[in-house]
């Protein structure tokens, strides 16, 4: 057992620590998966050399700008943002994913607004 493992255990058994860490990480990743719907992949939990769960991730399909259907891009981006921020304790990576999806959403909104402006010009 490493010094880190000993200090993390604080009187807990190894199995208790593994169960506690696994449950915490799993709940975090499950929040991503549930909110991500069709765009979310499987839950993966990584363990350290001692077999203690230390982190996890759920892959998510990021939106791409569809200039022919900006509403689809906006809806996809909204789902990704919601999924990234779903856990009660979002990580730094979660904030980065949400920021990337917001940037794509802003591009889609600009395309949509431009298309609406052109429709109004034709109607005038």
Q: What are the domain boundaries of the chain?
A: 3-123
Q: DSSP for 7-56? A: HHHTT--HHHHHHHHHHHHHHHHHHHHHHHGGGEEEEEEEE-TTS-EEEE
Q: Calculate mean pLDDT across residues 75-96.
A: 98
Does the pLDDT of residue 124 top 70, yes or no?
A: no
Determine the pLDDT at residue 58: 98
Model pLDDT, residue 3? 37
Host H or E run for residue 70: helix 70-84
What is the per-residue pLDDT across 2-41, written as a single tens digit (0 to 9) for each?
335 554 556 678 899 999 999 999 999 999 999 999 999 9
Does residue 120 surpass a pLDDT of 60?
Answer: no
For the residues 55-73, what does the mean pLDDT come to? 97
State how beta strands 53-60 and 40-47 pair: antiparallel
- Over residues 96-109, the mean pLDDT reads 98
CA distance 75 to 36: 12
**pTM recorded for the entire structure:** 0.83
- Which has more confidence, 114 or 45? 45
- What rounded mean pLDDT belongs to the chain? 90
pLDDT of residue 115: 85
């Amino acid at each position: 057992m490493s010094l880190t493992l000993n200090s993390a255990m604080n009187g807990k058994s190894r199995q208790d620590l593994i169960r506690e860490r696994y449950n915490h990480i799993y709940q975090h990743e499950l929040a991503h998966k549930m909110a991500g719907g069709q765009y979310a992949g499987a839950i993966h939990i990584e363990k350290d050399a001692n077999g203690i769960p230390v982190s996890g991730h759920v892959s998510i399909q990021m939106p791409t700008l569809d200039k022919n259907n900006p509403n689809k891009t906006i809806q996809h981006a909204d789902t990704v943002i919601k999924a990234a921020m779903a856990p009660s304790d979002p990580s730094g990576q979660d904030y980065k994913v949400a920021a990337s999806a917001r940037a794509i959403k802003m591009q889609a909104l600009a395309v949509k607004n431009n298309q609406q402006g052109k429709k109004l010009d034709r109607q005038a």
